[in-house]
Structure 1
Amino acid sequence: MENKKYLTFRIHDLHYGIEAGMVQEIFPLPELIPNIEASSDIIGILNLRTQIVPVIHLDWLQGYPPKVCHLSDYIIILQWEGLQISILVHQVNEMLELDDEVIETVPYNGFLFDINTAFIAGVAKIESETIFLLDSKKLVRQPETLVTLIWDAQSQLEVPTAFDDGQQYEEYQTPNFYDLCCPHTTSEERAIFQQRAVHLRQSFKESEVTNSLMALAVIGIGDKYYGLDLKLVREFTNIDNLTPIPCCPKHIVGNMNLRGEIVTLVDIRNILNLPMTPINIGSKAVVVQFEDVIVGLPVDKVLEVVYLNPAEMTPLPALELLYNAQYLRGMAFFQGKMLSVLDFPKILTEGELTVNEQI
């Protein structure tokens, strides 16, 4: 039996999941271009590096009026039937690996917890949590309309307009993004939404650059941001159980039972020259696999997934060179702060993280 990975997320009080293989990018909600003439499933479109991406709101897909969007919401970019689409979510949670035994089928064209099951492939029950797994084949109810929408909007991108100055469509659409999605935003919040949109639509000049982008999971440890190669990340999770291991170094926090698999938690703060802090139940962790080694890294925050051009990484500052340069691949700007890109294989192999069983 082959397990499948699902990215889980929340909309309002409901927990959803979608096949992780469809997910391409995750980033905070930018200012959208309202799409009044589209099907009721599409709340708007965004310009992602000169590619038009429709944004689906699951409330609209379910037939309910959408609630107010927030600056803290996220966009998940999906590859669907050869097209890029996206869904708007309120909170991105962990990556889960599920097998068929924990997934229950649901009646088609029925309702469960006020959810239209026509768009649900199954329901997974993990402990006390119910996760509704979306049916990827039914995310778009009108494919022809969607293709026409993308084609029309894409053709308009090549025509110079007043929209190119960064004030994205707000003055020219009635209702505009804020009237439609978040009428109570402040001027400061609107500026952040607009800056996100400007950043996302910046194009890469050469396809070779695009193909060489590094996919990074951005995590927060203390007051610093770190980038971790997404290929090494198995899932994000919360620490809901912890068993100490006697006679181990301080960086070995203990073992946790992750759905029947025992994963050792390893604190890398000391290696990164950060102060050690207690790891408590309820803290977040990133489960990382390198070759045949699987460990959990306690972190303070799981922020988002970004795609970084390696050429944009800057040399390490002198202060970093004095301490932990051998464990960093470089640095880059992220949301106004410096993002340190971790060399996790080197941390694992040269950072003396192994448990000495003879102690």
Structure 2
Amino acid sequence: MLRTVEESEIMEPIPYLIFELYNSTYGIEATAVQEIFSLPELTPIAEAPPDIAGVLNLRGKILPVMDLNRRFGYKSRPYQLSDRVVVIQWQDVQMGIIVDDLQEIQNIDPQDISSEISYGRDFQAHTHNFISGFARIGTSIIILLACEPLIRYSEKLPPGTEMPTETELEEQDMPDQGRLFCPHASESERSIFRERAEALMQTTESQDLSGFISLAVVGLNGEYFGIDLQMVREFTDILQVTPIPCCPQWVVGNMNLRGEIVTLFDLREVLNLDLSQKRSLEKAVVLQVEDIVAGMTVDEVFDITHVYPTDIDPIPAAVHTTRDEYLRGTAPYQDKMMAILDISKILTQGELEVNDSV
């Protein structure tokens, strides 16, 4: 049931991080994404470009953080605790961008991307256009952003785009010219923003900055689990499941993923998690290990984070909710511990291995 990929089916989709901004859906190439974290307190810089909301100390490096609303010429809005910062890199420049809501990492086939749109008239796009293309995913259109023009600041913006004036920024109650960050936040909210900033300042001298592991953070039964991002093909919503008769309890069924049949499995039994809780059939992580493709049902997709090998600890002896042989270890995530799944072992050597007799 865990199907293999035939050579004729192998494609080269491009992974994009999908997020919401100003009621529109955007995507940016996941290979440019370095890190994602909850919005911390920023320090406004008076002489910075108008679209730079402020800077922060990210483990000893000063990181400028861009307000995408301002960058696109839209009106800014008050920041919220639910906002996220996506750290992207182009060449040697690193920049954080504030987004409203992260959705998923999704592989987009190049044939589903249109680089140009005909407006029925003669129109030449500005050379600093932020948009690299438009992706058709089901009934949705995703606006794909180009890193270079997004990061590089230019006084020459696309025609019809105007950066907010200082007066407009004051009317929007946004930080600028030395004003407080998020001035209308409550004391408790301001404290959380500040605590996040202090946590991001911390660094360990022994860390190998080039050896981090990228992890997708998912939730199962109220616990955090990390999945090596190299094993993740995409995240997807579960629209319809076709049950498979005479299968083990962990087999949820098959789903049609844009014409590809993917078998879904519930990892809770393998991890000895409580099965009395209702099984979630809303989100799945599509995994690929060599020629094996399978979908893992999850309660929630939280984040993409990076850990260093030195941050991964052996499984504590006191942990009894998971099976140690299918975990690579644990690592801190926010104020809790995250168990890192050994996906390769689970799919190829564990109880999910299926033979023809099943």
TM-score w.r.t. length of structure 2: 0.82
Q: CA offsets, 1:17-36, max 9 Å, x none?
A: 01111111111111111123
Residues 288-307 of structure 1 aligned to structure 2 (within 5 Å):
288-307=287-306
Between 330-339 and 52-61, the greater mean CA deviation after superposition = 330-339
Whole-angstrom CA distance in 1 between matches of 2:198 and 2:139: 41
Whole-angstrom CA distance in 2 between matches of 1:126 and 1:329: 34
Whole-angstrom CA distance in 2 between matches of 1:108 and 1:66: 30
| Alignment correspondent of 2:40 | 30
Q: Could you tell me which amino acid in structure 1 is paired with residue 131 of structure 2?
A: I
Whole-angstrom CA distance in 2 between matches of 1:15 and 1:357: 42
Between 319-328 and 300-309, the greater mean CA deviation after superposition = 319-328
Q: Does the Cα contact within 8 Å between 2:243 and 2:252 map onto a contact in 1?
A: yes
Q: Does the Cα contact within 8 Å between 1:35 and 1:44 map onto a contact in 2?
A: yes
Q: Would you say how many aligned residue pairs link Structure 1 and Structure 2?
A: 323
Q: Does the Cα contact within 8 Å between 2:90 and 2:151 map onto a contact in 1?
A: no
Q: Could you tell me which amino acid in structure 1 is paired with residue 344 of structure 2?
A: P
Whole-angstrom CA distance in 1 between matches of 2:45 and 2:57: 13
| Alignment correspondent of 1:46 | 56
Q: Could you tell me which amino acid in structure 2 is paired with residue 14 of structure 1?
A: S
Q: CA offsets, 1:60-97, max 9 Å, x none?
A: 11111211221111111111132111211111112222
Whole-angstrom CA distance in 1 between matches of 2:26 and 2:39: 18
Q: 2:131 aligns with which of 120, 140, 143?
A: 120
Judging changes above 3 Å, is the alpha-carbon distance between structure 1 residues 3 and 203 closer, same or farther for their aligned structure 2 residues? same
Whole-angstrom CA distance in 1 between matches of 2:224 and 2:91: 35
Judging changes above 3 Å, is the alpha-carbon distance between structure 1 residues 203 and 338 closer, same or farther for their aligned structure 2 residues? closer
| Alignment correspondent of 2:335 | 336
Judging changes above 3 Å, is the alpha-carbon distance between structure 1 residues 124 and 23 closer, same or farther for their aligned structure 2 residues? same
Pairing 1:313–2:316 present: no
Q: Could you tell me which amino acid in structure 2 is paired with residue 354 of structure 1?
A: E
| Alignment correspondent of 1:69 | 79
Judging changes above 3 Å, is the alpha-carbon distance between structure 1 residues 323 and 201 closer, same or farther for their aligned structure 2 residues? closer
Whole-angstrom CA distance in 1 between matches of 2:60 and 2:118: 38
| Alignment correspondent of 2:202 | 202
Whole-angstrom CA distance in 2 between matches of 1:119 and 1:332: 36
| Alignment correspondent of 1:348 | 347
Whole-angstrom CA distance in 2 between matches of 1:67 and 1:314: 41
SS at match of 1:305: strand
Q: Could you tell me which amino acid in structure 1 is paired with residue 297 of structure 2?
A: P
Q: Does the Cα contact within 8 Å between 2:272 and 2:321 map onto a contact in 1?
A: no
Pairing 1:103–2:113 present: yes
Whole-angstrom CA distance in 2 between matches of 1:332 and 1:190: 27
Q: Which has the higher contact order (CA 8 A, sep 6+)?
A: 2
SS at match of 2:182: helix
Judging changes above 3 Å, is the alpha-carbon distance between structure 1 residues 47 and 108 closer, same or farther for their aligned structure 2 residues? farther
Between 302-311 and 314-323, the greater mean CA deviation after superposition = 314-323
Whole-angstrom CA distance in 2 between matches of 1:246 and 1:102: 35
Name the % identity.
44
Residues 1-359 of structure 1 aligned to structure 2 (within 5 Å):
2-106=12-116, 118-142=129-153, 174-179=178-183, 183=184, 185-206=185-206, 209-276=208-275, 277-279=277-279, 281=281, 283-320=282-319, 324-359=323-358
Between 47-56 and 330-339, the greater mean CA deviation after superposition = 330-339
Q: Could you tell me which amino acid in structure 1 is paired with residue 90 of structure 2?
A: W
Q: Does the Cα contact within 8 Å between 1:109 and 1:118 map onto a contact in 2?
A: no
Whole-angstrom CA distance in 2 between matches of 1:103 and 1:202: 40
Q: CA offsets, 1:325-347, max 9 Å, x none?
A: 11122223322222112222222
Q: CA offsets, 1:108-150, max 9 Å, x none?
A: 999xxxxx99321111121121110112221035269xxxxxx
Q: Could you tell me which amino acid in structure 2 is paired with residue 132 of structure 1?
A: I
Q: Could you tell me which amino acid in structure 1 is paired with residue 129 of structure 2?
A: A
Question: How far did 1:322 drift?
Answer: 8.2
SS at match of 1:138: helix
Q: Does the Cα contact within 8 Å between 1:4 and 1:99 map onto a contact in 2?
A: yes
SS at match of 1:318: coil
Question: How far did 1:16 drift?
Answer: 0.2
Question: How far did 1:272 drift?
Answer: 1.1
SS at match of 1:34: coil
Question: How far did 1:173 drift?
Answer: 7.6
Question: How far did 1:354 drift?
Answer: 2.8
| Alignment correspondent of 2:160 | none
Q: Does the Cα contact within 8 Å between 1:252 and 1:355 map onto a contact in 2?
A: no
| Alignment correspondent of 1:158 | none
Q: Does the Cα contact within 8 Å between 1:249 and 1:355 map onto a contact in 2?
A: no
- Segments of 5+ residues of structure 2 without an aligned counterpart are 1-10, 121-125, 156-175
Whole-angstrom CA distance in 1 between matches of 2:31 and 2:286: 18
Whole-angstrom CA distance in 2 between matches of 1:270 and 1:250: 8
Q: CA offsets, 1:179-212, max 9 Å, x none?
A: 2xxx2x2222222211111111223314x62223
Report the aligned-residue RMSD. 2.8
Q: Does the Cα contact within 8 Å between 1:245 and 1:254 map onto a contact in 2?
A: yes
Whole-angstrom CA distance in 2 between matches of 1:267 and 1:326: 17
